[in-house]
Chain A
Amino acid sequence: MMKTWQAVKRLLPMTAIFGLILAGCGREDLSVLRPQGPAAETSLGLMKLSITIMVVVLLIVFSIAAYVIIRFRRKPGQQEIPKQVEGNFKLEVLWTVIPLILVVVLAIPTVKAVFAAGNDHANDKNAIKVKVTGHQFWWEFEYTDYGVKTAQDLVIPKGKDIAFELTTADVLHSFWVPSLSGKIDTNPAGTINRFSFSAPNEGVYRGKCAELCGPSHGLMEFKVKSVSEDAFNQWIASMKSPVAVLPEDPELAKTFKNQCLKCHAVGDQGLAVGPNLTGIGSREAIAGILLNDDTGVDGAPIEENLKTWLHDPQSVKPGNLMPNPKDLGLSDAEIDGIAAYLANYKLD
């Protein structure tokens, strides 16, 4: 018995290390363990501190346990009654005081970081203000200073503080970009949350919804694109200028206008009840999860993704509010036409 037990004891940390190597700590654009911005770094710093303390505690407990289990096994023929010890005041005080000290060591930086995280940059003139609205099951981003609204891809200038104001249009969601920052819930009007993060490097980061919000909760993903300041300004400009947006084929344009633009918006046309489609051809993914990748390694070309989505939105994201285009009377050819048009609707 003892040998097996010891084997387990030895195996545990090994599985841990093995697990880590196996995982390689996760993707750079997704993992908490590979922070890409100051907010995530603060969190990771506290994690490192707490895990160090905790591993020391674990090692002490494990070694005492191992020693006790091996040393004080009942030997065959052992009959005399062991000494009945009531306790030891000094020892008990010792293991009350030491944990208290450890708690204080962890509590001080925690409290500091809590108050630092409370700084939301809402009144900072240099910060980019973004209003985030969670919907079942997509994200809306409104750049209040620029009058620009988009969905699913949050474009931000690198290095700048982004001041978020978060709310939800329906149920609770939670806005989370693991590699950039911890999460914060989107509450209904009246309990609006504010927080801030920044991304010092250019790149695309994966964002997720972290609060159960219905069937497609697990698929409510989004991307954060950190770009250079110039690229950001250019993006804002092209989002604002009403470019020619409707499909070239007048018949298709009519269908698109009558059916799709009742909920969606492109440029200055249509209603923005559903996700804003302006420049959708330049986005990282369709519906947040069908990754646009011409090489086909991590997804499919955008036109193919759009077709997948438009032919049966429910099978891609169960429970979403988009009606099936077929039920709206669109033919397969029309759907494919709209997919092709949207795929080519890129921003300059």
Chain B
Amino acid sequence: MDWITTVDHKKIAILYLLAGGLFFGIGGFEAILIRIQLIKPMNTFLDAQTFNELITMHGTTMIFLGVMPVIFALMNAVIPLQIGARDVAFPFLNALGFWTFLFGGILLNLSWVMGGAPDAGWTAYTPLSTSTYSTTHGVDFYTIGLQIAGLGTLIGGINFLATIITMRAPGMSFMRMPMFAWTTFITSAIILFAFPAITVGLVLLTFDRIIGANFFEVGAGGNPILWQHIFWIFGHPEVYILILPAFGIISEVIPTFARKRLFGYSSMVFATILIAFLGFMVWAHHMFTTGLGPVANALFSVSTMLIAVPTGIKIFNWLLTMWGGQVRFTTPNLFAVGFIPTFTMGGVTGVMLASAPADFQFHDTYFVVAHFHYVIVGGLVLGLFAGLHYWWPKMFGRMLSEKLGKWTFWTFILGFHLTFFVQHFLGLMGMQRRVFTYLPNQHFDVLNLVSTIGAFLMGVGMIIFLTNIVLTFRKPADAAADPWEDGRTLEWSIPSPPPEYNFKQTPLVRGIDAFWKEKTAGHTGMTPAEPVGSIHMPSATILPFLMSVGIFIAGLGFMFSRDEFKSDFVGFMFNHYLVTAIGLLITFGSMLMRSLFDDQGWHIEPEELEGEQI
């Protein structure tokens, strides 16, 4: 009950981590099935339809339900602490964001047991995703599930924007903000602009499929290319929503374990902003072969290549951060250092893809599969591993085992390169992506086998990581406030895990790497910016959970509104939109409750604070 009603950002972080971990596991399992099917030519392990459902769900799950929540988990766990705040700006909304994400994700995955998963690829290109060619409810689960989950992401993004703009500790100007806070800020801004685009697209596609609209239906004058534009106007910035937080994590981990401040801080900030800006300008590089014509292709080629410049700045700044430092190879830093060459490899293939006439060959082949897995797994997932190992003691008060952590790193990164490096060559040798099988004697066999073996090795790495977590929880929670000893930012100045109110007294920030600055000045803690006083806390509430349940029911009701049911009663309920109405009633009723009953929250009094050892 405590967990369903919580509005504490630290607990919501753990909820995000659990849910994200669950979906990540599902997505990973789907990946293993895909790789087993492709282990040899003309394999019959899976049939074509199931394979297409698996690739669709693997992509969709990993992007929307696997890595995004883990990013949100780290943001929730760390951002208020890093900027010296007691919570996020809107704790109620924070909980709402989590629950809508979770119920959207559950809805999407229900498709496996409720008559067919989506099968049109994670990009859901029309007309394949229209009801003419995708006749199960699969794509409905996709459109409605993602709308609900996307709501959560949008809410989260807006919340972080408000938090970072308004709740920084005294003295923390924007240019003294830690890099992870910066990338979270920019990521949230991208979410704010990109997610409405996909939501519009999903609504239009839902209308096409469920109430017979004709936005994309060719026979009735709809335009399928429109979907591609809408999708990629969201879809390309999405890549930066994913990778920028990883950049932020790397920018935190490397300075800590090099014992040096981040090299070129201001250029890092501007590179981040520039990447976000350019990220919105290049969506059509996913559409070079759609036939947009040479002018569009040339413009999008060149603008895409430009992204390499700010990204390159970041790579060299990280390397120079280590230069002259005292680099310690703890598990988080292993992942961070492993990230640099791996992500660079993904970056350079990105530049190669940007050249449109070369992309005519790369597009929709395993070369592309290799490229974006280098970016998303070799970049983002390695970054998340670094971040999780780094902040684990802060989140849970326990250090993960270094020995198992190192095993995780080596098995995972070796498995990763084994899986995806060879896929570049598969693509160049003529293997297109999203194929459920391939003919023998095309020189694809050996490389596919190697790739599958690598995938299993990555799976082993994940299992070692899970083992590490389980073993760690059997140990007492005794991590130090600054367990890595060289913590630089504010979160390391408070106990692990932090008390409910984070900071007894809001700290005074006197420069970049605020805590490090105090430590080098010979202080043991931060200088407070305020006297000890009564701390206002938000009340726990079940309303966000109920609102999400309502939307979930409404979504299911809408989706099945045109179906025929055996039972007349059930049919009546669905066909007259009564189920939808009940769901919406729950949601709007909860909103009304929230508006009518004013909740002032509660206070922690100074006497209680004094009683604790801080």
Interface residues of A (CB under 8 A from B): 1-2, 4, 8-9, 12, 15-16, 19-20, 22-27, 30-33, 40, 42-44, 46-47, 50-51, 53-54, 57-58, 61-62, 64-65, 68-69, 72-75, 78, 81-88, 91-92, 95-96, 99-100, 102-103, 106-107, 110-111, 113-118, 136, 170-172, 174, 176, 178-179, 181-185, 187-191, 193, 206, 208-219, 221, 289, 291, 298, 318-319
Measured CA separation A33–B425 after assembly (Å): 9
State whether the Cβ of B208 lies closer than 8 Å to any Cβ in chain A.
no
Chain A: which residue is nearest B124 at the CB level? A212
Q: From residue A246, how far is it (CB to closest CB) to chain B in Å?
A: 33
Give the chain B neighbours of A68 by CB distance below 8 A.
319, 322-323, 327
Measured CA separation A86–B512 after assembly (Å): 10
Measured CA separation A20–B435 after assembly (Å): 22
Measured CA separation A73–B257 after assembly (Å): 10
Grouping DSSP codes into helix (H, G, I), strand (E, B) and loop, the B interface class, with mixed when no group exceeds half, is: helix
Q: Are B361 and A47 in contact (CB under 8 A)?
A: yes
**Known A170-B127, A191-B225, A214-B128: A23·B289 in contact at CB below 8 Å:** no
Q: Are A182 and B291 in contact (CB under 8 A)?
A: no
Give the chain A neighbours of B359 by CB distance below 8 A.
182
Measured CA separation A303–B345 after assembly (Å): 49
Q: Are B428 and A33 in contact (CB under 8 A)?
A: yes
Measured CA separation A181–B360 after assembly (Å): 8
Q: Are B319 and A289 in contact (CB under 8 A)?
A: no
Q: Are B48 and A319 in contact (CB under 8 A)?
A: yes
Besides the known contacts A92-B264, A289-B439, 12 further A-B residue pairs in the complex with CB atoms under 8 A apart = A23-B447, A26-B428, A32-B430, A65-B341, A92-B316, A103-B305, A111-B298, A111-B301, A114-B356, A117-B360, A182-B361, A214-B133
Give the chain B neighbours of A57 by CB distance below 8 A.
312, 344, 348
Measured CA separation A182–B317 after assembly (Å): 37
State whether the Cβ of B382 lies closer than 8 Å to any Cβ in chain A.
no
**Known A30-B442, A65-B337, A114-B298: A185·B429 in contact at CB below 8 Å:** no
State whether the Cβ of B441 lies closer than 8 Å to any Cβ in chain A.
yes
Interface hits, B124-179 → A, CB 8 Å: 125, 127-128, 133
Chain B: which residue is nearest A188 at the CB level? B218
State whether the Cβ of B358 lies closer than 8 Å to any Cβ in chain A.
yes
Residue among B323, B354, B359, B428 facing the most chain A CB atoms (10 A cut-off): B428
Q: Are B224 and A176 in contact (CB under 8 A)?
A: no
Q: From residue B247, how far is it (CB to closest CB) to chain A in Å?
A: 15
**Which stretch from B27-35, B182-190, B414-422 is at the chain A interface?**
B414-422
Q: Are A183 and B319 in contact (CB under 8 A)?
A: no
Q: From residue B87, how far is it (CB to closest CB) to chain A in Å?
A: 32
Residue among B258, B264, B289 facing the most chain A CB atoms (10 A cut-off): B289
Chain A: which residue is nearest B260 at the CB level? A82
Measured CA separation A65–B333 after assembly (Å): 13
28 A-B pairs within 8 Å (CB atoms) are namely A1-B334, A23-B446, A27-B442, A32-B428, A43-B360, A46-B357, A54-B349, A73-B329, A85-B260, A87-B263, A91-B264, A103-B306, A107-B302, A115-B294, A117-B294, A118-B293, A118-B294, A170-B127, A182-B359, A185-B290, A187-B291, A189-B218, A191-B225, A208-B430, A213-B128, A214-B52, A215-B49, A319-B49
Give the chain B neighbours of A171 by CB distance below 8 A.
125, 127-128, 133
Measured CA separation A171–B128 after assembly (Å): 5
Interface hits, B439-456 → A, CB 8 Å: 439, 441-443, 446-447, 450
Interface hits, B452-503 → A, CB 8 Å: none
Give the chain A neighbours of B591 by CB distance below 8 A.
none
State whether the Cβ of B58 lies closer than 8 Å to any Cβ in chain A.
no
Give the chain A neighbours of B125 by CB distance below 8 A.
171-172, 211-212
Give the chain A neighbours of B363 by CB distance below 8 A.
174, 182-183, 210
**Known A1-B329, A85-B324, A212-B121: A106·B351 in contact at CB below 8 Å:** yes
Q: Are A110 and B355 in contact (CB under 8 A)?
A: yes
State whether the Cβ of B401 lies closer than 8 Å to any Cβ in chain A.
no
Q: Are A182 and B357 in contact (CB under 8 A)?
A: yes
The 3 closest A-B pairs by CB, nearest first: A182-B360, A218-B435, A26-B429
Give the chain B neighbours of A319 by CB distance below 8 A.
48-49
Q: Are A69 and B309 in contact (CB under 8 A)?
A: no
Chain A: which residue is nearest B365 at the CB level? A210
Contact of B357 among A58, A102, A113, A210 (CB under 8 A): A113
Give the chain B neighbours of A15 by CB distance below 8 A.
417-418, 421-422
Q: Are A50 and B324 in contact (CB under 8 A)?
A: no
Measured CA separation A26–B436 after assembly (Å): 20
With an 8 Å Cβ cutoff, the count of chain B residues facing the other chain is 100
Give the chain B neighbours of A170 by CB distance below 8 A.
127, 133
Measured CA separation A106–B308 after assembly (Å): 12
Measured CA separation A33–B431 after assembly (Å): 12
Q: Are B316 and A95 in contact (CB under 8 A)?
A: yes
Measured CA separation A20–B438 after assembly (Å): 20
**Known A43-B357, A85-B261, A187-B290: A111·B352 in contact at CB below 8 Å:** no
Give the chain A neighbours of B417 by CB distance below 8 A.
12, 15
Chain A: which residue is nearest B312 at the CB level? A99
State whether the Cβ of B432 lies closer than 8 Å to any Cβ in chain A.
yes
Chain A: which residue is nearest B123 at the CB level? A212
Q: Are A86 and B435 in contact (CB under 8 A)?
A: no
Give the chain A neighbours of B348 by CB distance below 8 A.
54, 57-58
Q: Are A110 and B356 in contact (CB under 8 A)?
A: yes
Q: From residue B178, how far is it (CB to closest CB) to chain A in Å?
A: 15
Measured CA separation A238–B359 after assembly (Å): 39
Give the chain A neighbours of B317 by CB distance below 8 A.
87, 92
Q: Are A27 and B443 in contact (CB under 8 A)?
A: yes
Q: Are A183 and B360 in contact (CB under 8 A)?
A: yes
Q: Are A217 and B352 in contact (CB under 8 A)?
A: no
**Known A26-B443, A27-B442: A69·B297 in contact at CB below 8 Å:** no
Q: From residue A92, how far is it (CB to closest CB) to chain B in Å?
A: 5
Q: Would you give the 0/1 interface string for B395-416, flagging 1 where the beta carbon is closer than 8 Å to chain A? A: 0000000000010001001100
Chain B: which residue is nearest A12 at the CB level? B417
Measured CA separation A133–B497 after assembly (Å): 63
Contact of A103 among B48, B225, B308, B414 (CB under 8 A): B308
Measured CA separation A293–B460 after assembly (Å): 43
Measured CA separation A260–B582 after assembly (Å): 53
**Known A69-B322, A74-B326: A106·B439 in contact at CB below 8 Å:** no
**Known A23-B447, A82-B260, A191-B225: A30·B429 in contact at CB below 8 Å:** yes
Q: Are B319 and A47 in contact (CB under 8 A)?
A: no
Contact of B358 among A50, A69, A91 (CB under 8 A): A50
Chain B: which residue is nearest A22 at the CB level? B446
Q: Are B344 and A58 in contact (CB under 8 A)?
A: yes
Measured CA separation A225–B192 after assembly (Å): 52
Q: From residue A69, how far is it (CB to closest CB) to chain B in Å?
A: 6
Q: From residue A131, how far is it (CB to closest CB) to chain B in Å?
A: 15
Q: Are B425 and A188 in contact (CB under 8 A)?
A: no
Q: Are B364 and A190 in contact (CB under 8 A)?
A: no
Q: Are B432 and A210 in contact (CB under 8 A)?
A: yes
State whether the Cβ of B372 lies closer than 8 Å to any Cβ in chain A.
no
Q: Are B325 and A4 in contact (CB under 8 A)?
A: no
Q: From residue B383, how far is it (CB to closest CB) to chain A in Å?
A: 16
